[in-house]
Chains A and B, each alone.
Chain A
Amino acid sequence: MDIYLVGGAVRDKLLNLPVRERDWVVVGSSEDALLKQGYVRVGKDFPVFLHPHTKEEYALARTERKTAAGYKGFECDTSSEVTLEQDLARRDLTMNAIAEDQNGNLIDPFGGAKDIKKGIFKHVSKAFEEDPLRILRVARFSARFPQFVLDPDTFDLMHLMVNRGDLAELAAERIYVEIDKTLKSETPAKFFRVLDDLSAGSRLWPELTEDAFTLFEQVAFLSDGREERIAALFWYLDKTRLKKISARLKLPKQLIDLALLRKHFETWMQSDKLDASEIVSWLYGIDAFRRTDRFKKINHFFDLISKITSKGVYGNCSDNWLSYYELATSISAKSLIPKYQGKELGQALRQAQIEKISRARN
């Protein structure tokens, strides 16, 4: 049995990037042999195992053949006859189809190292078209390696796949995985722009336009928070469309919490024009006193947006809101308890907060 390092680890080494995780391919072995050596099987659909000590992933060399639509419609052959080259041939891009043996020699039947040097994404074979998720994966690689461009043939193949409607067979969950990874990458706007070039954007998210990508790009440069980034991407959507797109893409509620608070922005920008009672209403409106972290997150995000869109910065809104918040929380409910109870206590507290802010501003 022979073991090779494959995929992202080999690619990242060639790009002089830190290697994040290592995947291995095992040639000339079988499931039983690996289990006997203490490997633990983890793959449900594919024969993937964890190493007993390093816990790194080891997969039996395999070939795949598409037999039906959907990502489960694959017939998989993992016999010990399958060669390394056959295993590499089923991969998406030449940059990801390079193996390294245990002496550090590269096995690169599709010229991946050369393509990395040239800076192109090139598909390994026609089998690329068997899984439309690869379109999103390539777009995500573009966001990760912005200096790379698509090989014209690869572009044409992906364009063809998009135009014949292949994306329709992708489950929202699989699309979300790619979005999630994209949100963590350095230049995530590129993901959306590449998909737009392929006419895939108008199929996947017709709501999103270049304006959204531009704002998204700016926010992503200033913040790596996933929530802030997605809120920027959805900034120009009204609530109905925001809910529609996030339902369609099955985005987790938590991820779009900030995006849903967008309607509070216009009032936020008026920080120095509002009267004290409007200020306190706004703070209660976003539940600032019970959810302090969330308030600070909103304040930070709105600050980013106002700076990028050149709106509302004249009055230093963000500092204003922080000081209003401090003033309001400096009043303790306890001091009011002897006099008030229940609902009245809440009202009295609010009144005291309004007065405090009002006094501080005069």
Chain B
Amino acid sequence: MSTYVFGDIQGCYDELQALLSLIKFNQSNDQLCFLGDLINRGNKNLDTLKFMMSLPNIRVVLGNHDLHFLAIATGTQNISEKDTFQDMLDSSELNEIIGWMRQQSLIIYLQEFDSTLVHAGIPPNWSIEEAIKYAHEVEEILKSHTHLDFFKNMYGNEPSIWTDKLLGWNRMRVITNYLTRLRYCKLSGEMEFKHKTKIQPEGYQPWFEFDRQSSGQILFGHWAALEGVTGKKNILALDTGCVWGRKLTCYRFEDQQYFSVAAANN
């Protein structure tokens, strides 16, 4: 029995299957974890999602693209030209897909490996425990009728910093932005969203460069431009840009091995 963690799939179903063959995935023995952005930008979103829903032994944290899909699928947001998940929206199983996604987490802590899974990151002003606690606040909302209001209020870059006095949708937006969109920030936790690339905005650092008390591992996706390099031994970046023509990567906890397949269209 092995446990694998996958970086962003983004609808790259063929590469996912190729990587599963490479690791000789055994459905009844192996546990698969996904770091979010399961869909969007790639071309086989419905196949990807249906496959995941058919796997019994799977753990998923949601990414910004997954939440964006939910906002569109529930009618609170309009689809944009860049979005490629029309196949899911047209599916007769759309309601099941929405229901399945609303059940997933924003953060998962795996005790047996002392590892935390999150799509984007954990800001330096939060402990792992705090991150889990605040993630629950959004997870509960995803499961309630207020998820529609949440999707209406989810978008935006402000407020850019957490304080525990934040209320209402501002609070939920900061929690969501930290966990699903964070790249650069300050030690205070102030976020910066203009830079997608490796060019570092002045006064900001990648969130994982700040020293953290806990010894555990953090695994995240979201940031393909890092090409899997964080410079920190216990912080693993697993989005290696498959949808951008690079490769799809997963990591096996038991022996700390990485596995990759090249993108089909590279």
Contacts and interface: CB of A to CB of B under 8 A. Distances in A.
A193 B136 contact: yes
A147 B143 contact: no
A307 interface: yes
A152 interface: yes
Interface string B33-53: 000000000000000000000
A220 B143 CA distance: 9
A233 to B, nearest CB: 15
Interface in B131-168: 133, 136-137, 139-141, 143-146, 149-150, 164-165, 167-168
A120 B171 CA distance: 11
A220 B144 CA distance: 10
B256 interface: no
A189 interface: yes
A30 interface: no
B58 interface: yes
A149 B146 contact: no
B140 A190 contact: yes
Contacts of A146: 137, 140-141, 144, 146
A120 B144 CA distance: 18
A118 B168 contact: yes
B103 interface: yes
A54 interface: no
Interface string A303-337: 00001001001100000000000000000000000
A119 B143 contact: no
Interface in A143-175: 145-149, 152
A147 B146 contact: yes
B33 to A, nearest CB: 12
A70 B57 CA distance: 49
A221 B141 CA distance: 11
Contact of B143 (A118, A149, A186, A197): A186
A217 B56 contact: no
Interface string A176-201: 00000000001101100100010000
B27 interface: yes
Interface in A216-271: 217-218, 220-222
Contacts, number: 58
Interface residues of B, number: 27
A307 B27 CA distance: 14
B169 A221 contact: no
Contacts of A307: 56
Contacts of B56: 307, 310, 313-314
B165 A119 contact: no
Contact of B57 (A218, A220, A310): A310
A217 B168 contact: no
A189 B140 contact: yes
A147 B57 contact: no
A220 B140 CA distance: 11
A314 B58 CA distance: 13
Given A187-B144, A190-B140, A313-B56, A147 B165 contact: no
B171 A149 contact: yes
Nearest to B31: A310
Contacts of B164: 152
A193 B133 CA distance: 9
A193 B132 CA distance: 12
A113 to B, nearest CB: 14
Contacts of A148: 168
The residue in A147, A187, A218, A310 that gathers the most chain B C-beta atoms within 10 A of its C-beta is A147
A119 B168 contact: yes
B102 interface: yes
Interface in B103-149: 103, 133, 136-137, 139-141, 143-146, 149
A147 B149 contact: yes
A149 B167 contact: yes
B182 interface: no
Contacts of B167: 118-120, 149
Given A118-B168, A146-B137, 17 more contacts: A118-B167, A119-B169, A146-B141, A148-B168, A186-B144, A186-B145, A187-B141, A190-B140, A197-B133, A217-B143, A218-B103, A221-B103, A222-B103, A307-B56, A310-B56, A310-B58, A313-B56
Interchain residue pairs A-B with the least CB separation, the first 5: A119-B168, A313-B56, A146-B140, A310-B57, A187-B140
